[in-house]
């Protein structure tokens, strides 16, 4: 089968978000062993002017749901970014996987030339074709926040390796 | 035009590696301002048991050239991982971009079902279809090392933001 706009997006998000749930499980075990509360993770940052752990997960979620909804031409689910515990962050990841899986492949296939307009926080409008949006905006942005989440856990001493990252 | 195995791989690597050259330039400026030698960057690690900065860049390079060569069914260029200065790391990134650009799109298009076998360091053989190799191995691995490079520079105080990461 040929690669298409569904096969290049939804299964990627679902797989990496599933891997992330596995990292969060290992983070729980680490916290138990070291006897600290998992809520400590939520505020960790790689640099003082980088977003904290909880925001990294929320934005990875946003990147995935926003990409799939935009390519499919449906409304992006709006979720409050109010996760304050590890349980709630895990639920957010699961809800994202469920949403991505709920959008039929046919709604994404053929979206290469769909016009995608992104309004930035400063009001600038970025305009992409569907394919450029997927490969030069949504995917790198998704991986940015997924990898930063992983890096924060590694930094915090959680025992993770490349096979956990890739999900083999 | 429809998404294909070339459009979903080579232009992604070329764009992000180009962005990386821009980050390295900002890292040079930062080192000049703070009066330290750029070679200091090469040994930085996010955690004691994570690979240092120079290896992150070498492996991002390997992920890109390995992916394109494997999908095209040509020999992977073998380069010694002996970069010991910022100049040499930048040259490595440029050489990677040149190699990726040198492989004609036609050699990658249609490689979805090509059988890709990866021999791991422990001898295990991982077997992928071309498309699964691209989306579930090469791309996440590439972004892992690209984002970790970015995170190390942010951690070192280099002034970088999401627009630099995405290359807008």
- Domains of chain B, residue spans: 10-166
ipTM, 2 dp = 0.96
- A1 pLDDT tier (thresholds 50, 70, 90): confident
Tens of pLDDT, residue by residue over A94-150, are 999 999 999 999 999 999 999 999 998 889 999 999 999 999 999 999 999 999 999
Task: Give the helix/strand (H/E) hosting A129.
Answer: strand A125-129
Q: Distance (Å) from the C-alpha of residue B119 to the closest C-alpha of chain A?
A: 14
> The whole model's pTM is what?
0.97
H-assigned helices in A6-161: 10-34, 53-72, 86-102, 105-108, 130-133, 139-155
The reported pLDDT for the residue numbered B121 is 84
H-assigned helices in B35-124: 53-72, 86-102, 105-108
Beta bridge partners of A115: A129
Residues 6+ away with beta carbon under 8 Å from A111: A5, A71, A72, A73, A130, A131
Q: Distance (Å) from the C-alpha of residue B83 to the closest C-alpha of chain A?
A: 23
- A50 pLDDT tier (thresholds 50, 70, 90): very high
Cβ–Cβ pairs < 8 A, chains A and B? 100
Residues 6+ away with beta carbon under 8 Å from B157: A47, B30, B34
Q: Which CATH class is domain B10-166?
A: mainly alpha
Taking the C-alpha atoms of residue B68 and residue B13, their distance in angstroms, rounded to an integer, is: 9
The reported pLDDT for the residue numbered A168 is 73
Q: Chain A: which residues have CB within 8 Å of chain B? A: 1-5, 7-8, 11-12, 15-16, 46-47, 50, 112, 126, 131, 134-137, 139-141, 143-144, 147-148, 150-151, 154-155, 157, 162, 165-168
Query: Would the pLDDT of B168 be above 80?
Result: no
Beta bridge partners of A117: A127
- Give ∠ CA B112-B139-B78 in degrees, rounded to 5: 90
- Cross-chain CB nearest to A144 (options B12, B46, B147): B147
Phi, psi (deg, nearest 5) at residue B118: -115, 125
The reported pLDDT for the residue numbered A121 is 84
Q: Is A17 exposed, middle or buried (0-12, 13-18, 19+ CB in 10 A)?
A: buried
Taking the C-alpha atoms of residue A150 and residue B25, their distance in angstroms, rounded to an integer, is: 26
Task: Give the helix/strand (H/E) hosting B125.
Answer: strand B125-129
Tens of pLDDT, residue by residue over B17-46, are 999 999 999 999 999 999 999 999 999 999
- Give ∠ CA B67-B70-B73 in degrees, rounded to 5: 145
Q: Which of A137, A165, A167, A138 is nearest to A149 (CA)?
A: A165
> Cβ separation of B2 and A2 shorter than 8 Å?
yes
Taking the C-alpha atoms of residue B149 and residue B45, their distance in angstroms, rounded to an integer, is: 9
Residues of chain A found within 8 Å of residue B112, distances taken between Cβ atoms = 1-3
């Amino acid at each position: 089968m040929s690669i298409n706009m569904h096969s290049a997006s939804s299964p990627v998000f679902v797989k990496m978000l599933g891997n992330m749930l596995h990292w969060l499980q290992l983070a729980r075990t680490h916290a138990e062993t070291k006897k600290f509360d998992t809520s400590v993770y939520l505020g960790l940052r790689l640099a003082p002017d980088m977003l904290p752990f909880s925001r990294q997960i929320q934005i990875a979620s946003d990147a995935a749901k926003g990409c799939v909804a935009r390519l499919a031409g449906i409304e992006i689910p709006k979720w409050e970014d109010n996760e304050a515990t590890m349980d709630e962050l895990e639920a957010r990841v699961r809800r994202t996987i469920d949403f991505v899986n709920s959008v039929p492949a046919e709604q994404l296939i053929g979206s290469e030339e769909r016009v995608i307009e992104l309004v930035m926080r400063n009001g600038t409008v970025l305009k992409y074709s569907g394919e450029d949006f997927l490969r030069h905006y949504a995917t790198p942005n998704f991986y940015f926040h997924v990898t930063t989440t992983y890096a924060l856990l590694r930094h915090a001493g959680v025992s993770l390796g490349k096979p956990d990252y890739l999900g083999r």
